A and B are shown apart, each in its own frame.
Chain A
């Protein structure tokens, strides 16, 4: 059996959890086994996971699961996997999933692959691919143990409806006391976090100063995109650190990445080269980023970006 942990930050199931269930369903189909989903804490509309291929949806309801503790979640998932007879456990490659994956692998003595980007090859052996060297290469990893734990890279596949809602059953699993006290959770409302964003507008030193960011924000607003920046911009304090994408910042894989005034240093490319489409706007035709771009615009970003914003506005109106 394949067991999928569908995350529900603050009680809400998000797209990444649906992707994870779709991944679990397709893996289970290949193995010729069932896919079941598990949710933890108070969750809205967990029944919908049935639509994405979970033949059963279990919930472990316990107040203490509303705050995240990798030690508690690991204990619950390991006991659930054991109870249900699951040999493969699948998580999302989110900050939660990444914090649990290794723990769960150690607890279950399972081979683990973090950040898988395709459905496993099952052909006598079990192997699966993941990005390595910050997206500069792909490794095919063979898992040699009976138990296996995988985390699924966001945007690797689209959620796919294959069935209907299923009734949510309560699973009786012991929930150990947490040794962590969560004091405060601060969320940035209204904006899709970068690792999950499908559209990203990013800018670099070519902006000349933080006071000029209005045109980037206007473009992002028009597209419904999340804003990002290059490392020098975050380091000089023009933009907050959480916006820094690149090898030592956030790695992203949106459908569309628009980069204005970023030359495209190899460390920056490492964090963004998994984007499906890259648009590079730069006044220097020799900027190395053009080599990695799908579309390139050589021009003054202070003219090109507002023009692009207007073109999108016109497109939406038509």
Chain B
């Protein structure tokens, strides 16, 4: 089983969000970066579990500059066999998907894993785009997955419930909570990660069809109105008359 796990680098979940260059760029000063939690906790760990069960290999793929190598090494420390970094600034979803598709075509992977979305741009687009560029089935928001031979049985989240389906490899999958549990790399893993191969490849040509013009902060909430805990009738009145939500 040849598995590819695409990971992105995101600001850590408590990072202060600020912008620079006329509010057109995210201000990275003082921000700690991590591997996108959906990519790490669910996609990568489930791929590793399948490899342990069925044999094969897990390759990590990242599109980004050399400063992303720390995040990639963490994935290797958790247990991936090798890694590929496409040396390019990931500016738009379609640009990134075209890079992933180019690498995936070359590698002939059975399953291409991504997290269900990144916690910064929350687009949830790259996985679907990659599937289309590769002309493969796409299973989104997967919460459980098992493989028997070349057929996978997958449970996925749908509006108001879940769906169970079968699909043959190769396919693209986006992983959601439930797929696996977070793994903390141990010292041996961290030491071994330093010697695992990390191949850097150049980007393929692709245009950005979208650009971010400006970032703004959401309008700040008005001051909280405190209500007497003995007087819930007053709260109900405010919800009805002032806020008009009930």
Given A70-B131, A107-B132, A311-B236, check contact A251 B177 (CB 8 Å). no
Is there contact, CB below 8 Å, between B128 and A315?
no
List the 5 closest pairs (A to B, CB-CB), nearest first. A299-B229, A102-B128, A111-B209, A187-B161, A102-B125
When the two chains form the complex, which single residue of A70, A276, A314 contacts B245, counting CB atoms closer than 8 Å?
Answer: A276
Residue in A closest to B138 when the chains form the complex, CB atoms: A70
Is there contact, CB below 8 Å, between B19 and A106?
no
Residue in A closest to B178 when the chains form the complex, CB atoms: A241
**Contact residues of B with A, CB < 8 Å?**
11, 13-14, 17, 19, 37-38, 93-94, 97, 119-133, 136-141, 143, 153, 157-168, 171, 177-178, 208-218, 221-222, 224-227, 229-230, 232-233, 235-240, 243, 245-246
Residue in B closest to A242 when the chains form the complex, CB atoms: B157
Chain B residues contacting A56 (CB-CB under 8 Å) are: none
Is there contact, CB below 8 Å, between B211 and A142?
yes
Is there contact, CB below 8 Å, between B243 and A139?
no
Chain A residues contacting B161 (CB-CB under 8 Å) are: 185-188, 193
Shortest beta-carbon distance from A10 to chain B in Å:
10
Rounded to whole angstroms, the CA-CA distance of A191 and B13 in the bound complex is 30
Q: In chain A, residues 264-291, which have Cβ atoms closer than 8 Å to a Cβ of chain B?
A: 266-267, 270, 273-274, 276-280, 290-291
User: Can you list 17 A-B contacts with CB-CB less than 8 angstroms, sorted by A residue number?
Assistant: A71-B131, A102-B93, A102-B129, A133-B122, A139-B121, A140-B212, A141-B211, A141-B212, A179-B167, A180-B165, A183-B165, A185-B161, A247-B13, A295-B239, A297-B229, A308-B232, A311-B233
Chain B residues contacting A195 (CB-CB under 8 Å) are: 159
Rounded to whole angstroms, the CA-CA distance of A114 and B125 in the bound complex is 7
Given A99-B140, A131-B122, check contact A279 B246 (CB 8 Å). no
Is there contact, CB below 8 Å, between B160 and A193?
yes
Rounded to whole angstroms, the CA-CA distance of A94 and B120 in the bound complex is 19
Residue in B closest to A75 when the chains form the complex, CB atoms: B132
Chain B interface, >50% SS class: mixed
Shortest beta-carbon distance from A61 to chain B in Å:
22
Q: Count the A-B residue pairs with Cβ separation under 8 angstroms: how many?
A: 272
Is there contact, CB below 8 Å, between A9 and B159?
yes
Contact with B along A229-257 (1 / 0, CB 8 A): 00000000000011010011101000110
Residue in B closest to A254 when the chains form the complex, CB atoms: B245
Rounded to whole angstroms, the CA-CA distance of A254 and B57 in the bound complex is 43
Chain A residues contacting B37 (CB-CB under 8 Å) are: 248
Chain B residues contacting A266 (CB-CB under 8 Å) are: 13-14
Chain B residues contacting A242 (CB-CB under 8 Å) are: 157
Shortest beta-carbon distance from A90 to chain B in Å:
15
Is there contact, CB below 8 Å, between A256 and B123?
no
* A residues contacting the other copy or chain, number (CB 8 A): 98
Chain A residues contacting B171 (CB-CB under 8 Å) are: 179
Is there contact, CB below 8 Å, between A180 and B236?
no
Rounded to whole angstroms, the CA-CA distance of A241 and B11 in the bound complex is 24
Is there contact, CB below 8 Å, between B140 and A95?
yes
Which residue of B136, B137, B245 has the most chain A CB atoms within 10 A of its CB atom? B245
Shortest beta-carbon distance from A315 to chain B in Å:
5
Chain A residues contacting B160 (CB-CB under 8 Å) are: 9, 187-188, 191-193, 196
Rounded to whole angstroms, the CA-CA distance of A299 and B227 in the bound complex is 10
Chain B residues contacting A314 (CB-CB under 8 Å) are: 233, 236
Rounded to whole angstroms, the CA-CA distance of A114 and B127 in the bound complex is 13
Given A102-B129, A241-B178, A256-B245, check contact A315 B240 (CB 8 Å). yes
Residue in B closest to A312 when the chains form the complex, CB atoms: B236
